[in-house]
Amino acid sequence: LTLNWTAAADTETTNSATLSYKVIRSAIPITGLSDLSSGTEVMTYTANTTTFSDSGLSAGTSYYYAVVVKDTDGNESLYTVKEVKTLTSDSTAPVVSTPTLGTTTPTETNVTVSWTAATDTETAASNLKYKVYYSTSNNMTTSADAKQNGTPAMSEWVAGITSYPVTGLLPGAQYYITVVARDEGGNETVYTTQTLTTKTDTTAPVLPAVSTLTEGTVTSSSAEISWSPATDNANTAAQISYKVVKAASAGLIDTVAEADAITGTDLVMDYTAGTTSATATGLNHSTDYYFAVIAKDSSANKSIYQTKKITTPVSTDTTAPVISTSTLSSSSVSSTGFTVSWTAATDTDTNLQYLVYTSTSDNISTVADAEANGTAFGSYEPGITSKTITGLTASTTYYYTVIVKDSAGNKSIYTKNSVTTSSASSGGIDTSFNSGGSGTGGTVNSIAVQTDGKILVGGYFTSYNETFQERIIRLNTDGTLDTAFNSGGAGASNTVYSIALQADSKILIGGEFNSYNATSQMRIARLNTDGTLDTAFNSGGAGANGYIYSIAVQADSKILIGGDFTTFNGTSQGRIARLNADGTLDASFNSGGAGAGNNVRFIAVQTDGKILIGGGFSSYNATSQGYIARLNTDGTLDTAFNSGEGFNQSLYSIAVQADGKILIGGQFSPYHIVRFFQ
């Protein structure tokens, strides 16, 4: 046991640190200084101390402790004697006669847990202590498991209670909750784990009474905006995320759907938790801009602030950017393109933008010549120092240059250079691609090419060029591994069957996996441009209960998925579904329809928005279909699509030509590829 006491004071001793203390232990009561001889001195006089620990005592025994304080003149005083009884040696855990827990109806974030009090042979009921634990996995069957795997609902053990409120839970999530009882001997008993699901949060964040944005510092090239924080029924202020966008007109971003669809250079700030300000850069001078802010909670409910118009002032900058090293270089030259690189220019304006021009003639030496005679590849992009050029003609010499522009519109041009594309091989293998590399260590099921020419590859492999990679990789334009993609991540836990690119360059993958980078993802995931998991996509959703073989992105950013699944996020879906841009289920798609009678292997969206599907099914919405069907934009069957009796075996691939004709490939006979009229 440990004794503690308050330091004494003395009228003659100004420095209390010179006072000394001794401790006497006795088996019989001590009534005064004269009784000290009946005890044992367990601590000799020690200066400036207020604590003492005693050991070697007998269990279940009463002891009397006296503390004596002495000044430098030898005068002594006695503290009030303390009787202490040691605990009985106890190795028996508390008894829980009714181990079942009770709970109130969970809210989005809270639930109160109750239980029947335990009993103990040595510890009084009022002294039994309890602690509540919760987990998202069923891994708390013993007290040791609960303490190792669970999250404690309280920081300290609490004596004598039989209920406790658990707070800070996530909406719409399943939890396992248990209680551990502890006696004074440290013996513990665990109650039976209780399973519960918190209420789904469908309430959007509440904006402040004045939901307008505030204009901060505005320059000719930047604008600062701020806002008052939103509140939410299931999230703290720090958990609410904000997205900031801009547009040339208020009508383009005055609804959540419109503002949330903004990507690219008009995206000022993507969803960021807990912030209430942002700065837009790279603006043009003397220009009207409209800004909008979306508030989003952890369940992806969203509200939008009123749009704010800000006009940038006239720029006084008339100085063009300075190019200290004007030499351009080319790399990764192929029959259809190359990569151009340069050294960044400098300027008093830090928001420099670059644009590459090409020409088959030597006529792009000045800014005016390049703009008049050259072909611009894309549009001005901020802060880049390289660009991959594609779509060129084989065995052709190209002149290329770069124009740099500041926010005021002042421009400078780099010294032009030239490069000759390699010859085409008429369908032969391009031996320069991944030259000397061993390639993947398994099957490749899907390939997608990014706008920068880099290549996404998915399948069932665990290595590329002898480097560990889990089922999805990105290659550089020359076929070598892009090691910056999902660096250090575990990747997909099983086969990736499909890859699709969104307009904002984020990456959708579907397949047989149930996790990505060790985070639960049921057969579909969205990746950020660096390959890391976009955790905002279908946050908290159960995903698909079967494989996803095909993904297609509509023009409105909604996502079509096809495969072997029969539910998505717990809702019945006949092997095809449409998701909203945030990954949640679009319940309006083929509402009430049975869907495909068997797996959907491919999806393609026509220019009119109608949807082609094919696979192993012989019916759609209970109507006979020979392994192929066309759907209306709402997911219902397009009965005007005439494929006759269809095919006699499964279809695996489709492509829509520019003229609208449709190419189909699969296992059918006598041919394995055919073309349809539109």
Q: Whole-angstrom Cα distance, residue 66 to residue 42?
A: 10
Tell me the average pLDDT of the chain: 91
Q: Token digits for 247?
A: 């547009």
Q: Whole-angstrom Cα distance, residue 574 to residue 623?
A: 13
Residue 650's pLDDT band, with cuts at 50, 70 and 90, is confident
Q: Which CATH class is domain 346-421?
A: mainly beta
Beta-carbon contacts of 320 under 8 Å, excluding residues fewer than 6 positions away, are 347, 406, 410, 411, 412
∠ Cα 618 651 462 (to 5°): 125
- Which pLDDT score is estimated for 24? 96
Placement of tokens 């999806």 in the chain: 603
Q: Whole-angstrom Cα distance, residue 546 to residue 513?
A: 10
pLDDT higher than threshold 90 for residue 220: no
Q: Whole-angstrom Cα distance, residue 629 to residue 637?
A: 7
Average pLDDT over residues 547-574: 94
Q: Looking at mean pLDDT, say which of 13-17, 355-359, 487-491, 513-517 comes out highest.
A: 355-359
| Record: fold of 214-312 | Immunoglobulin-like (2.60.40)
CA 300 to chain centroid: 12
Is this structure's pTM higher than 0.95? no
- CATH 2.60.40.10 segments of the chain: 2-85, 101-197, 214-312, 346-421
Among residues 564, 569, 514, 575, the alpha carbon closest in space to that of 540 is found at: 569
pLDDT for 201-210, tens place per residue? 999 999 999 8
Beta-carbon contacts of 537 under 8 Å, excluding residues fewer than 6 positions away, are 525, 526, 582, 583
pLDDT for 386-403, tens place per residue? 999 999 999 999 999 999
Contact assessment for residue 107 and residue 198, using Cβ atoms and an 8 Å cutoff: yes
Bridge partners of 553, per DSSP, are: 559
Q: Whole-angstrom Cα distance, residue 84 to residue 80?
A: 13
pLDDT higher than threshold 70 for residue 35: yes
Domain 101-197 has CATH 2.60.40.10: yes
pLDDT for 303-343, tens place per residue? 999 999 999 998 888 899 999 999 999 998 988 999 999 99
pLDDT higher than threshold 90 for residue 492: yes
Q: Whole-angstrom Cα distance, residue 441 to residue 608?
A: 40
Phi, psi (degrees; rounded to nearest 5) at 96: -110, 105
Range scoring the smallest mean pLDDT among 116-125, 135-144, 219-228, 434-443: 434-443
Q: Whole-angstrom Cα distance, residue 209 to residue 340?
A: 52
pLDDT for 661-671, tens place per residue? 888 888 877 54
Specify whether the backbone of 228 is left (phi greater than 0), alpha (psi in -120 to 50) or beta.
beta
> In the chain, what are the helix, strand and coil shares in percent, each to the nearest 5?
5, 40, 55
Residue 529: its H or E element: none
Residue 640's pLDDT band, with cuts at 50, 70 and 90, is confident
pLDDT higher than threshold 90 for residue 659: no
Q: Token digits for 246?
A: 């801009």
Phi, psi (degrees; rounded to nearest 5) at 233: -75, -20
Among residues 457, 537, 563, 552, the alpha carbon closest in space to that of 502 is found at: 552
- The sign one gets for the Cα dihedral 178, 179, 182, 186 is positive
Residue 301's pLDDT band, with cuts at 50, 70 and 90, is very high
Q: Whole-angstrom Cα distance, residue 230 to residue 601?
A: 44
Phi, psi (degrees; rounded to nearest 5) at 144: -65, -40
pLDDT > 90 in the chain, percent:
73
Q: Is 438 exposed, middle or buried (0-12, 13-18, 19+ CB in 10 A)?
A: exposed
CA 471 to chain centroid: 20
∠ Cα 272 276 277 (to 5°): 95
- CATH 2.130.10.10 segments of the chain: 443-666
Residue 427's pLDDT band, with cuts at 50, 70 and 90, is low
- Which pLDDT score is estimated for 670? 57
Please provide the DSSP assignment of 334-366 as one string.
-SS-EEEE-PPPB-SSS--EEEEEEESSS--SS
Q: Whole-angstrom Cα distance, residue 227 to residue 306?
A: 10
Q: Whole-angstrom Cα distance, residue 529 to residue 628?
A: 34
Spell out the SS3 assignment of 572-635. Answer: ECCCEEEECCCCCECCCCCCCCCCECCCEEEEEECCCCCEEEEECCCEECCEECCCEEEECCCC
Residue 370's CB is within 10 A of a number of other CB atoms, namely: 27
| Record: fold of 443-666 | Methylamine Dehydrogenase; Chain H (2.130.10)
Residue 623's CB is within 10 A of a number of other CB atoms, namely: 12
- Which pLDDT score is estimated for 425? 64
Residue 282's pLDDT band, with cuts at 50, 70 and 90, is confident
- Which pLDDT score is estimated for 435? 84
Q: Whole-angstrom Cα distance, residue 208 to residue 227?
A: 9
Single-letter amino acid code for the residue at 189: T
Q: Whole-angstrom Cα distance, residue 492 to residue 558?
A: 23
Q: Whole-angstrom Cα distance, residue 366 to residue 385?
A: 19
Q: Whole-angstrom Cα distance, residue 542 to residue 567?
A: 9
Average pLDDT over residues 69-93: 89
DSSP state of 59: T
∠ Cα 125 128 134 (to 5°): 130
Q: Token digits for 666?
A: 């699969």
Residue 64: its H or E element: strand 62-70
pLDDT: which is higher, 323 or 656: 323
Average pLDDT over residues 512-537: 93
Domain formed by 2-85, architecture: Sandwich (2.60)
Beta-carbon contacts of 564 under 8 Å, excluding residues fewer than 6 positions away, are 546, 547, 549, 575, 599
Distances (CA, A) of 428 to 423, 431, 447, 478: 11, 9, 19, 16
Beta-carbon contacts of 282 under 8 Å, excluding residues fewer than 6 positions away, are 221, 222, 265, 351, 353, 382, 407
Contact assessment for residue 130 and residue 180, using Cβ atoms and an 8 Å cutoff: yes
Placement of tokens 């099983």 in the chain: 494
